[in-house]
Structure 1
Amino acid sequence: MLRGMYGAAAGMIAQQQRQEMLTNNLTNANTPGYKADQASLRAFPNMLLKAMDTASATPGRAPYIGELTTGVYLQERMPNYRQGDIQETNNSTDIALLQGVLPPTESGQPGGLFYTVQDANEELRYTRSSNFTLDGEGYLTTTEGFYVLGTDGQRLQVDNDEFRVSENGMITSAEGAALGQINVVYADNPMLLVKEGNGLLRLESEEGPLPTAIGNGAISFQLQQGFIERSNVDASQTMTEMMSAYRSFEANQRILQAYDQSMEKAVNEIGRIG
């Protein structure tokens, strides 16, 4: 009976974590460049049941009865790097990154393109946020103040918002002077990128920084100034999944309550000495 309680409790915990993930997705439905998370639920290893009485047992082997499940858990959260919709804003600091043709990968999963930025600790990070801004010194930054880097690894200083960005990321001033080129990098396996918050992604690999996509003939992309990439969260689908997670939580809760009532009856009635 206690194993059943543990299994129901494990199901409640897994659905609660899934609900929290879906709630976070829905909260960021209007966050530019946000990539929705997906959950992967997995069952704990099943336990084999065998009879212990020797009378009915085959010599040298106990009779096999069946399997006993031991619950489920949320194994991992995986971002969905599908391209979001493009929305026009007419702001010169909004620069959407449109993925084109990407080379096939060994895993069969699609790769991804990202901007390179510098976080508050001056460490290299990646992002798909496209609603940039300018700081007091004229540097191109994210809305959280993280510097956007160029192909030379340096911060991009554009001085004012009267600059132009070409389709390959080359930045020029209103007078036509070259100010640098936005560095777009390619991730062969985007699942190695870990979300840190504020739209930043950290690479979990010892192979060094991601290679630049500029100059790679197998990769095609386009930067669109005056546009932003919207979140790829499907609000209606997310709401449906939230209701499903809630119903599953309720079902496990009712099972747990039934076990609790059975335990209470066993203690107060069956175990009572007449």
Structure 2
Amino acid sequence: MIRSLYTSVSGMITQESKQGVITNNLANVNTIGFKSGNLSVKEFDRVLLYNYDKIQNGKNYRQDLGEISLGSKIDDVNTNFTQGVFEKTDKATDFSLEGNGFFTVERNDGIGVNRYYTRDGSFHVNSRGYLVNSSGDNVLGVNLETEEIEPIRIESNNFVLDGEGNLNVEGSPLYRFYTVDFENYSGLQKFGDNIYRGENERETNNISVRQYQVEKSNVNVIKEMVDMMTVIRSFETNQKLIQSIDETLGKAVNELGSVR
């Protein structure tokens, strides 16, 4: 009886966490470049039940009754990196990536300057002439003259992305975006502000950068709503089961144990 109570409670905790992931997905349905998350669940180690009720020749022998699960637990939150659809804009500072890979941005965390990665190409030029994202992080590019990786400085709104993927400012090619990819996306962690952090980046040219368009979120609203209804029903089922177990335990304590 107590095992059933723990199993139902663990199920409610898991469903509550699933609801949080789904809510976050729906909240970011209009966030440019957002990638939806999915909660992975696994069960606790199974327990073997047995007793010694079997008697042969006056001796008790062990009798295996089978395995029992003690409920579910949260394994990990996986990110779906499927590419979203593209939307045309009229802003020269809007860019998108077609294929696998990420833009690279640079952020000063107070203890040092670190690199992060994003699919959100909705940039703008700040007051110092640098191309930055919505959080003010510098977008990194490769200086075509020195081949150094550095923040892209445009200092002008008169720029265009040419057919070779180079940023031309006032008619002169100055930078190409420092786009990177990873061997294994499971090592990427969401950091907030629609950026990721990871290790072992490698520059990739197997990706197309497009100007005047952005990549929309890959959240499937219909799927998320269906998943939400499933989670709610599962939560309610576990809740009713706990109420039933509680009533049974109450009767066992107050009625079966009473002196008549």
Q: TM over 0.5, yes or no?
A: yes
The reply on whether 1:163 has 2:159 as its aligned counterpart is yes
Q: Return the alpha-carbon distance in structure 2 between the equivalents of residues 40 and 56 of structure 1.
A: 47
SS of the aligned residue for 2:150 comes to coil
- Provide the residue aligned with 2:85 in structure 1: 85
- 1:132 pairs with 123, 128, 144, which one? 123
- Provide the residue aligned with 2:189 in structure 1: 194
Which consecutive residues of structure 1, in runs of 5 or more, have no partner in the other structure? 100-111, 215-219
- Provide the residue aligned with 2:145 in structure 1: none
Q: Could you say if the C-alpha distance between residues 14 and 232 of structure 1 is closer, same or farther in structure 2, counting changes exceeding 3 Å?
A: same
- 1:117 pairs with 84, 94, 105, which one? 105
Q: Work out whether residues 89 and 227 of structure 1, in 8 Å CA contact, stay in contact via their aligned partners in 2.
A: yes
1:122-271 matches, within 5 Å, as 122-151=113-142, 152-173=148-169, 175-203=170-198, 205=199, 209-214=200-205, 220-271=206-257
Q: Could you say if the C-alpha distance between residues 265 and 124 of structure 1 is closer, same or farther in structure 2, counting changes exceeding 3 Å?
A: same
- Provide the residue aligned with 2:29 in structure 1: 29
Displacement, 1:167? 4.7
Q: Work out whether residues 50 and 64 of structure 2, in 8 Å CA contact, stay in contact via their aligned partners in 1.
A: yes
Q: Return the alpha-carbon distance in structure 1 between the equivalents of residues 248 and 82 of structure 2.
A: 48
Q: Deviations over 1:192-226 (max 9, x none)?
A: 100010011111x4xxx411113xxxxx3211100
The reply on whether 1:9 has 2:14 as its aligned counterpart is no
Q: Return the alpha-carbon distance in structure 2 between the equivalents of residues 178 and 126 of structure 1.
A: 24
Computed over aligned residues only, the root mean square deviation of the Cα atoms, in angstroms, reads 1.8
SS of the aligned residue for 2:223 comes to helix
SS of the aligned residue for 1:76 comes to strand
Query: How many residues are treated as equivalent by the alignment?
Result: 252
Q: Return the alpha-carbon distance in structure 1 between the equivalents of residues 138 and 207 of structure 2.
A: 22
- Higher percent of residues as strand: 2
Q: Return the alpha-carbon distance in structure 1 between the equivalents of residues 224 and 82 of structure 2.
A: 15
| One-letter amino acid of the counterpart of residue 93, structure 1 | T
SS of the aligned residue for 2:55 comes to coil
Between the two proteins, what is the percent identity of the paired residues? 31
| One-letter amino acid of the counterpart of residue 244, structure 2 | A
Q: Return the alpha-carbon distance in structure 1 between the equivalents of residues 162 and 235 of structure 2.
A: 50
TM-score when normalising by structure 1:
0.87
Q: Return the alpha-carbon distance in structure 1 between the equivalents of residues 162 and 37 of structure 2.
A: 32
| One-letter amino acid of the counterpart of residue 156, structure 1 | I
Q: Which of structure 1's runs of 4+ aligned residues deviate more than 6 A?
A: none
Displacement, 1:80? 0.5
